């Protein structure tokens, strides 16, 4: 990883992640892989006690917005630790899901993914080594990022309305749907955790 890239663990800041799939392959086209990403997010809540605010899972990338403080005592959890655990979960369980599909169908859901599975690329990674992490410290920027996350499936032409994309926190915030995962944000700013 390049040494000039840094993460800033600042108490009180919200973090916005963008994590892309290796070579922009559409690993998350499959609902089983989307469930792996949801379970990775749930792991952050359970194992680290941090506040999950918003997310969206797209076919070749995902966005997560979180407040990296433990609920009890407000201790700041380093972003590198959270990202490491998140990606480790995605890698381990995602590859297991891909092996499961390959064993049953002898193929994945796209030709580029079949070539990846057969080892034709230089790596067998699911996610890029480094994700994009941005500190958010103002309410206006935070709300803009949540709106961006929720509109992502519309912008990409996957659905005409946000509520039709199951793989986003929009359904939780606007419809109270916690069937995939609950969010920890109550709508207040600054974040109360």
**Right CATH for 14-175 from 3.30.70.1290, 3.40.1190.20, 3.30.43.10, 3.20.20.70:** 3.30.70.1290
pLDDT tens digits, one per residue of 131-172? 789 999 899 999 999 999 999 999 999 999 999 999 999 999
- Per the structure block, which two tokens stand in for 83? 């990202």
Per-residue pLDDT tens over the stretch 1-50: 444 556 788 888 999 999 999 999 999 999 999 999 999 999 999 999 99
Alpha helices in the chain (DSSP H): 31-43, 79-105, 111-117, 139-155, 170-175
Answer yes or no: are the C-beta atoms of 167 and 56 closer than 8 Å.
Answer: yes
> Do 137 and 12 contact (CB within 8 A), yes or no?
yes
Residue 76 vs residues 14, 44, 153, 177: alpha-carbon distances, Å: 11, 13, 31, 29
Average pLDDT over residues 47-61: 97
Report the DSSP beta bridge partners of residue 57: 62
> Cα separation of 157 and 137, whole Å?
30
Beta bridge partners of 16: 65, 134
Question: Which tens digits make up the pLDDT trace of 91-107?
Answer: 999 999 999 999 999 99
- 3 state SS of 51: strand
pLDDT of residue 74: 79
């Amino acid at each position: 990883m390049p040494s000039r890239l840094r993460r800033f663990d600042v108490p009180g800041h919200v973090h916005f992640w963008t994590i892309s799939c290796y070579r922009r392959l559409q690993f998350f086209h499959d609902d089983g892989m989307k469930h792996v990403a949801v379970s990775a997010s749930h792991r952050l809540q359970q194992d680290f006690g941090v506040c999950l605010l918003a997310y969206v899972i797209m076919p070749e990338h995902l966005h997560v917005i979180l407040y990296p403080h433990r609920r009890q005592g407000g201790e700041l959890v380093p972003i590198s630790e959270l990202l490491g655990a998140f990606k480790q979960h995605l890698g381990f369980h995602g590859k297991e899901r891909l092996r499961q599909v390959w064993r049953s169908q002898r193929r994945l859901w796209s030709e580029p993914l079949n070539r990846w599975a057969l080892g034709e690329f230089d790596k067998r990674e699911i996610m890029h080594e480094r994700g994009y992490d941005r500190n958010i410290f103002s309410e206006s920027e935070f709300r803009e990022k949540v709106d961006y996350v929720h509109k992502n499936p519309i912008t990409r032409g996957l659905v005409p309305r946000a509520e039709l994309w199951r793989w986003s926190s929009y359904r939780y915030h606007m419809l109270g749907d916690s069937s995939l995962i609950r969010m920890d944000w109550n709508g207040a700013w600054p974040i109360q955790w």
